[in-house]
Amino acid sequence: MLLASLNPAAVAGGADLSDAVTIGDTALSRSDLVGAATSVAERVGGASRVAILATPSVTTVLAVTGCLIAGVPFVPVPADVGAAERTHILTDSGAQAWLGELPADTGGLQHVPVRLHARSWHRYVEPDSDAPAYIMYTSGTTGAPKGVQTSRRAVAADIDALAAAWQWTPEDTLVHGLPLFHVHGLVLGLLGSLRIGNRFVHTGKPTPDGYAQAAEKSGGTLFFGVPTVWSRVVSDAAAATALRSARLLVSGSAALPVPVFDRLVSLTGHAPVERYGSTESLITLSTLVDGDRRPGWVGLPLDGVQTRLVDDGGAPVPHDGETIGHLHVRGPMLFDGYLNREAATAEVLGDDGWYRTGDVAVIDDGGMHRIVGRESVDLIKTGGHRVGAGEIETALLGHPGVDEVAVVGVPDDDLGQRIVAYVVGDTDPDSLIQFVAEQLSVHKRPREVRLVGELPRNAMGKVLKKELAQWD
């Protein structure tokens, strides 16, 4: 059973929990979840797909849970998505209705409400494990967003592998304030909690104060955040100190700057666990709760996962911690393909089961992985050298005058690509160039440093480097 903690027989037999899910001032018990979500299932049963406006709300929780009970694939739609992108998602997915909350523009779809106090105790047969659980759309940074089809089997396999890596148990209380339309917040946070049976607390927004209050009031033991969240937490010493009572801090969705990692250790007493994944693969790599947690490294393959690192010609590259290669992964949590995009699927997912991630990485002789970045924007070929943007960004973040940084390669007639660093901070650009040259090989120094007020980011805090590279 995918949502193992919501087994109706077990809940009826006394395995209830009065605050299984808490969002804001509303708490739902397991019996509340089973009864209300089954009522949702009765209203959507038989639909091919439904769209859910994925706000951080109890309505969203019940809508998602009801779809999983009924075996109806759902399409989580970001609440702040633009009209054109929302229209594309609805049209491409073939969603038949909005379930739960409504956006300002419904796109002409009918509305199926979620009634918070409705209850049904109908028993549904568990859907086939290979059936799609949801269709989640990519961010669209490389074209129109693509619908990623993920099976129930893949979700279960990933959560179980993470439970082993993080010693995640029903005794935990998981806290986060991340969006419920991405893997981190929705699949790991909500579905993970409903499968494992731990308490789930959503703070509405991922603020330092919200996390601190959850630690104190809810006894939070497991906290999820993206680097932007952890950067804000360490800027609030009181909030960070409140997290000392936690068991584990998890960071993902982008690289955690080393200074933020170090500051978390200093203020909270916890070295954060970093992990790696994508909408297509879910999480495939992670540092372990009882293993080496090294700043800048995302760990080892999870149970059932294989990785390989190859050069441009497909030949293996050495696992020496230095040589950059294209990262491919294989495991039971991979997606089943892009909806309506056979050609796009074939480009990244081979018949042999290997998923070409589009990321470049290095692996050391112990099997630890470090993600250099995206092939398209983070692998810079300059003067005959292959340079990872992440290494330069890490060096620059060690300078006291740098708050944020993004490094890109821009076309250059002489070098092929010229290394340019966009820096949020207050310091002399020439001194930053020299600073990098003193720490790394000279050819890795930025040829240009541009001071900016802020970096363009998406909803998960990832820097939009393709947009940045077009800045003049």
- Positions of E strands within 100-140: 110-112, 132-137
Task: Provide the whole-model pTM.
Answer: 0.87
pLDDT at 234: 95
User: Do 328 and 384 fall within a single domain?
Assistant: no
> Which long-range contacts does 339-343 make (Cβ < 8 Å, 24+ apart)?
339/92, 339/93, 339/135, 339/146, 339/147, 339/148, 339/149, 340/92, 340/147, 341/146, 341/147
Q: Which of 354, 370, 386 is the last residue of a domain?
A: 370
Instruction: Tell me the percentage of the chain whose pLDDT exceeds 70.
Output: 98
Q: What is the per-residue pLDDT for 54?
A: 96
Q: How many Cβ atoms sit within 10 Å of the Cβ of residue 340? A: 13
Q: What is the pLDDT of residue 461?
A: 66
Residues 15, 78 within the same domain: yes
Of 198, 158, 172, 140, the closest CA to residue 460 belongs to 140
CB 283 within 8 A of CB 158: yes
Q: What is the pLDDT of residues 422-445, one digit of tens each?
A: 999 988 999 999 999 888 878 889
Task: Give the integer Cα–Cα distance in Å for 297 and 258.
Answer: 10
344 and 419 within one domain: no
What is the per-residue burial (b if ≥16 Cβ within 10 Å, else e) of 422-445? Answer: bbebebeeeebbebbeebeeeebb
Q: What percent of the chain has pLDDT over 90?
A: 72
pLDDT (average), residues 213-217: 95
> Quick check: 386 pLDDT over 80?
no
Residue 392 has pLDDT above 80, yes or no: yes
- Whether 413 and 355 map to the same domain: the answer is no
Please state the domain count of the chain: 2
Length of the chain in terms of residues written: 472
User: Are 95 and 238 found together in one domain?
Assistant: yes
CA torsion 193-146-107-204 (nearest 10°) is 30
Say whether both 223 and 106 belong to one domain.
yes
Q: What is the pLDDT of residue 143?
A: 64
pLDDT given for residue 391 in this prediction: 79
Is the model's pLDDT at 172 over the cut of 90? yes
Judge if 351 and 424 occupy the same domain.
Answer: no
Take residue 97 and report the two structure tokens written for it. Answer: 């209705």
Which CATH number fits the domain that encloses residue 114?
3.40.50.12780
- Work out the pLDDT band at 38, boundaries 50, 70, 90: very high
Are 112 and 59 in contact by the 8 Å Cβ rule? The answer is no
Q: Facing residues of 326 across strands?
A: 310, 360
Mean pLDDT of 201-212: 96
CA–CA gap between residue 6 and residue 222 (Å, rounded): 21
**Res. 346 pLDDT band, cuts 50 70 90:** very high
The answer to whether residues 267 and 225 touch, using CB atoms and an 8 Å cutoff, is no
Domain boundary pick from 346, 370, 394: 370
Residue 141 pLDDT > 60: no
Q: Indicate whether 271 and 413 sit together in one domain.
A: no
pLDDT tens by residue, 224-251? 999 889 999 999 999 999 999 999 999 9
Mean pLDDT of the chain: 92
Q: Which amino acid is at 105?
A: D
| Residue 462 belongs to domain with CATH number | 3.30.300.30
* Alpha-carbon distance values, 50 to 37, 74, 97, 122, 135 (Å): 15, 5, 5, 21, 10
> What integer is the mean pLDDT of 256-285?
94
pLDDT in tens, 79-119: 888 888 899 999 999 999 999 999 988 888 999 999 999 99
What is the residue range of 310's domain?
4-370
Q: What is the pLDDT of residue 459?
A: 60
Verify that 232 and 323 share a domain, yes or no: yes
Question: Quick one: average pLDDT of 143-152?
Answer: 91
Give the pLDDT confidence of 46-89 residue by residue, as tens digits.
999 999 999 999 999 999 999 999 999 999 999 888 888 899 99
**Looking at per-residue confidence, does 18 or 249 come out higher?**
249
Asked if 212 and 298 sit in the same domain, the reply is yes
Alpha helices in 218-340 (DSSP H): 227-234, 237-242, 258-268
Residues 54 and 143 in one domain: yes
Last residue of a domain, one of 370, 394, 421: 370
Do 353 and 396 fall into the same domain? no
